[in-house]
Structure 1
Amino acid sequence: MGDFTATLPRKRMGAGVLLSDPTGRVLLVEPAYKPDWEIPGGCVEADESPLAAAQRELKEELGLTLPIGRLLVTDWVPPRPERTEGFMLVFDGGVLDAEQTARISLPADELRSWAWCAEPEAVDRLSTLLARRVAAAIRARADGTTAYLENGSLPIA
């Protein structure tokens, strides 16, 4: 008798990290493989926790080993023609000081650059979906809450 859980649906999962500077700007990275900017993060691999994925991605993308704070956003993203449905999480990476910021080192084959962005500038650089998710993460951090989103928006009750 096999494990029935092997027959259950599987969802794509990603974990991102909201990092800020002391003035409240958020850290965005510019991928070399697509036009829109991102927050640091990426896919959660098989048998990896979302928190471990967030920590791994910070090390791979920024060269930083940082404590990861609480979960800010959970976002279910419906399927689209070019991608399966997904479950995206954003964790609080806290505020980077000048010394931590000076240690940022990007993998040239994956990321072109990074920038501190105030929320309006972040909205311009991010995809519409990720801009909504990041805005919700900023609000959740400020309010001390965790937001549940569907496709980047609060579900209508």
Structure 2
Amino acid sequence: MPSERRDVTAGLPRKRMAAGLLITDPDERVLLVEPAYKAGWEIPGRCVEADESPYQAAIREGREELGLDLTPGRLLVMDWVPARAGRTEGVMAAYDGGTLKPRMHERIVVPPGELKGWAFCDPPEAAQRLPPLLTRRITEALTARADGRSYYLEDGVRVT
């Protein structure tokens, strides 16, 4: 008689997960996108879908949000964010999306209905457009890129 194997992971807690790309221009300004479905700005990226790795999600989002076929580099930061009003806790990954070569930005095509637009921003401009959590995460991602390291964050604050 065949033995039935029960999925011991089925009842474990689930976490929201997203992946994004830290993309800069030759002047080290960060590429931000403005979603149409919510207020504020963020880096390109979004939720990791079922049966999709965070790395594959970053590739997909680069294609869907920017119309660019990018090969992400290494993981820069992994950020655990606690639950807050209207959001469950989550794990957010940011990969190195590289530096766009001159004129490559001319190939960016944002999907109507999903994004209003995009902009390259220096750190002070980015801080004006981003919520504090994303400002912290992007600042740490830029530091990780410069240091040649990856960092683990909690709520945008470096732990390791």
TM-score normalised by length of structure 2: 0.94
Match of 2:69 in 1: 65
- Whole-Å Cα distance in 1 between the matches of residues 82 and 37 of structure 2? 23
Letter paired with 2:98: G
Q: Radius of gyration: which is bigger?
A: 2
Cα distance in 1 between the residues matched to 2:36 and 2:49: 21
Equivalent residue, structure 1, for 2:57: 53
Match of 2:25 in 1: 21
Match of 2:136 in 1: 132
Unaligned 5+ residue runs, structure 2? Answer: none
Match of 2:147 in 1: 143
Please list the CA deviations of residues 23-53 of structure 1 after superposition, one character each: whole Å capped at 9, or x if unmatched: 1001000111222101000000000000000
Percent identity reads 60
1:95 and 2:82 aligned: no
Pair 1:7-2:19 in alignment = no
Q: CA RMSD in A?
A: 1.1
C-alpha distance in 1 between matches for 2:15 and 2:48: 11
Q: Distance in 2 between matches of 1:142 and 1:148?
A: 15
Aligned length, in residue pairs: 156
Letter in 1 for 2:77: V
Gap runs ≥5 in structure 1? none
CA distance in 2, matches of 1:94, 1:147: 17
